[in-house]
A and B are shown apart, each in its own frame.
Chain A
């Protein structure tokens, strides 16, 4: 019996994950023409993802959602409106603190620099605690507003229209200031990121519970809509917070100006310590920054040389891998400096691999943070304030344990399997559309015979030195000879193997099409595996007695996220301002909302908030960072915002489609009137 049950759950999740995995592997094999690295480890990680998802979802259905619904039902019966509003605020703030959202945003802002975007840097790095509080306040007010709406039976639309108008208006206002313009993307992304896999089902079931208890007939949308508000209000609060900070934040400056000793006073306001400043110069700056920071050539050389020491490297480069640093940040002169220093190092570089135990341990800690505070809050409210208990306490406790185990296994599985896989594809993605050949590896030829060099004449009549090298198939291929890489003293020649661009120079049509295809598949596939979406789909199916199917909801939302990611990537590729995309998208959305029924509005708007969860965010970030790095844009933000709008659009369209089909079976209004007249 247990086996059948477990097999069903696992098979369901394996199907949910299958698309994204196959897609990533195929893309890697066919388009990028590389082989997945660390296949065993990745496969193990993917297995963990499946098991984790199965446990987590079962935990949601057994424990978290019944608990949330119970609290929601009892609240209006046993307390007063102020208590409920206070509880909503507390829940919103607690949810924000529990979700690792800010960590995700900081990962997204890895390339943000205090000279190009001082305000953005200040929000993310100097005052992240205040940012979290601003976001939390937004979510809290949203949950409270949602409760208020359900209490009085207001239509969701009456809340959505002014809120969207306000947020869009404020965003447009922000484009007029060079500092504020940089944070618009961040603000819109916080809206999507804050509502995570634990918050969504809890808040959803809470709303359903309150709505059931109140028994309004009109405009309740079954208690849906809180997630939608919790995606919009944080945008508002972050924008307001940024506007408040703006006057005390330095203006954008050039890199050299920022790191110049004369500017140290102003830089201190953003970057409090010298150590941090050095780290910035290495992680996010170019050679200009390092030269400005270490004005003496010897200091600069010493700093570069210190990278060979693992401890210093870890401190200076942080999450950036050395290879990436050399490729993306270091100038050729610095690469040479580093190589010199490395040559003096006897044992070369040591590469520590992440240990399985460490990953699982940190994931378990994170899962505790995500699950325990929220569940504890609900349990305390239920037992102490409402003097009630869960309907089936043993099931609820088991469910909570399941969701903790599931969360732990899921996040470690993503860190070990899905994340690296996405990384392997997302990182080299710029190769698809960029014309610059990229270094693939180095070959040491020793002893190298300079006599093997022969001239090859170019069209200009000049001779270029070449030599023959076997390619992978063993055939001799002439490759250019670079005298600078030959060391006559040791007879050593270092050959750099370069991978040619896949599709010709410039932004080729095929290359861009492939990137769009990749973005679409990535969004579509990862959203299908998102547990919060599964929970939402199930709630919708239950509430509509199966007239709107869970599978349909998942498909519609996944399509929307795929579309949204494609648009988000297009924004980065073509440097479009986010507002240009957000205003028409939300405009369309408002028209569709106006056309839709109350219930559908609630389902659809909530779908926008569920799309950014533990599966999507790491994958999307890998892709955003890959493309962002390739194009040297300020930050990879704005993708999540797009991935939140489009699913609402597709869900509303899906809803309208279903209703249109069902309308055929609705007795016409005319028939009803005739009945009256007769």
Chain B
């Protein structure tokens, strides 16, 4: 493969679908029926509030967090195929009902070692029905597991921002520079993903930073990436319900009627953040790579040499949907690196060199614009 013609970058839609573990077989069947060759699966959990009576109602209601096991499916399609696909999935998996899952598409620039074929004509695809919100933003928070204790998910729920999806990862990069002393720093990270209406994103992020104490050393990072379209899970509360419909169901219904979320724009009090304000829109990039498990170190090392501040690696699994591939190499690693926009070019060059070196290994690079990156280090 000649070096000048490769890698090629193209704009595609990265689709993320998160459903309860018990529904994931159904989701896989639906995806397989569409002719998708393979998807990446990551284990996750989603956190909700559960209301329950304390001591036979004597002490009133108590609120606790309730986890449910989720699986996140990720794949990418040509940008034009994204919207019909979202509409189809929303219907097939009944994602408009609160609690059934989260689905969103993001536009990324992608460079793949092996390009999956475009989807066939999707004969089963019904004409789009209903509204698919397009004014959404993904807030991603990466925090150390030890000491975090679900601070971000709890806050997100209490602020009514949405149902957070939490997955696990390992910090890499900075830690490796320390030599053996690194074992004293636990590498386990939690990745918290939260879909919020775009107009509320900044305000919610500010609250998350302030009340989640992210402005302290080791607090973690928080940033926004744009979402092309999606459906957010709004079943925030479980347990006792006083009315025929929960507030979340009513909100979902009005969103649908109003064809958007702007009607519920919040007003945040304009207190400035302690310390530095988060950076402005479009100043950063989230670079994401997928590679066979074990090869992630090469990517991280190349990225660090090119000036990346660090990376977070998660373990994912490639699942073949065609039922043909006899591969015994399905373990994958997915890495996330956040860098300022001006370092993007050098970093991508370094990473694509690693990708080209392992061209036969189904590697993948994706870049998306990131805004309002906040970390203690940055401030």
**Which among A5, A217, A675, A676 is the interface contact of B28 at CB below 8 angstroms?**
A217
The smallest C-beta distance from B27 to any residue of chain A, in angstroms, reads 10
CB-CB contacts below 8 Å: B267-309 with A: 293-294, 297
B349 within 8 A of A: no
CB-CB contacts below 8 Å: A380-432 with B: 391, 394-395, 398
CB-CB contacts below 8 Å: B87-108 with A: 91-94, 97, 99-101
Q: Are B331 and A73 in contact (CB under 8 A)?
A: yes
Q: How many residues of B contact A (CB 8 A)?
A: 50
Q: Are A2 and B330 in contact (CB under 8 A)?
A: no
The smallest C-beta distance from B199 to any residue of chain A, in angstroms, reads 28
B12 within 8 A of A: no
**Which among A1, A77, A394, A545 is the interface contact of B44 at CB below 8 angstroms?**
A545
> Within 8 Å CB of A217, what residues of B?
25, 28, 319
Give 10 closest A-B pairs by Cβ, nearest first. Answer: A215-B330, A675-B94, A5-B184, A76-B328, A212-B331, A667-B100, A665-B68, A547-B69, A547-B67, A662-B68
User: With A4-B184, A546-B67 known to touch, is A671 a contact of B94 (CB < 8 Å)?
Assistant: yes
CB-CB contacts below 8 Å: B8-58 with A: 20, 22-23, 25-26, 28, 43-46, 48, 50
B181 within 8 A of A: yes
A674 within 8 A of B: yes
Taking Cβ atoms with an 8 Å cutoff, the residues of A that contact B are 1-2, 4-5, 58, 62, 70, 73, 76-77, 212-215, 217, 391, 394-395, 398, 542-547, 661-667, 671-672, 674-676, 678
Known: A5-B183, A76-B329, A667-B94. 19 other contacts (CB 8 A): A62-B183, A215-B317, A215-B327, A215-B331, A395-B180, A395-B183, A398-B180, A398-B183, A543-B43, A544-B69, A545-B168, A546-B45, A546-B168, A664-B66, A664-B238, A664-B239, A665-B238, A666-B20, A667-B99
A545 to B168, CA, bound (A): 6
A300 to B66, CA, bound (A): 73
A547 to B150, CA, bound (A): 12
A209 to B318, CA, bound (A): 14
> Within 8 Å CB of A5, what residues of B?
183-185
> Within 8 Å CB of B365, what residues of A?
none
**Which among A213, A391, A678 is the interface contact of B329 at CB below 8 angstroms?**
A213
A-B contact count (CB 8 A): 116
The smallest C-beta distance from B289 to any residue of chain A, in angstroms, reads 17
> Within 8 Å CB of A676, what residues of B?
92
User: With A544-B43, A665-B238 known to touch, is A671 a contact of B330 (CB < 8 Å)?
Assistant: no
> Within 8 Å CB of B294, what residues of A?
70, 73, 391
Name the residue on B nearest A398 (C-beta).
B180
The smallest C-beta distance from A356 to any residue of chain B, in angstroms, reads 30
Taking Cβ atoms with an 8 Å cutoff, the residues of B that contact A are 20, 22-23, 25-26, 28, 43-46, 48, 50, 66-70, 91-94, 97, 99-101, 166-168, 180-185, 235, 238-239, 293-294, 297, 315, 317-320, 327-331
> Within 8 Å CB of A76, what residues of B?
328-329
Name the residue on B nearest A215 (C-beta).
B330
> Within 8 Å CB of A544, what residues of B?
43, 45, 69
Name the residue on B nearest A9 (C-beta).
B184
The smallest C-beta distance from B49 to any residue of chain A, in angstroms, reads 11
A546 to B168, CA, bound (A): 9
> Within 8 Å CB of B100, what residues of A?
667, 671
Q: Are B180 and A545 in contact (CB under 8 A)?
A: no
> Within 8 Å CB of A667, what residues of B?
20, 23, 94, 97, 99-101
A-B contact pairs, 11 of them (CB 8 A): A213-B330, A214-B330, A215-B318, A215-B319, A394-B180, A398-B183, A545-B43, A545-B44, A662-B68, A665-B238, A667-B23
A671 to B26, CA, bound (A): 13
A542 to B188, CA, bound (A): 10
A2 to B185, CA, bound (A): 9
The smallest C-beta distance from A8 to any residue of chain B, in angstroms, reads 8
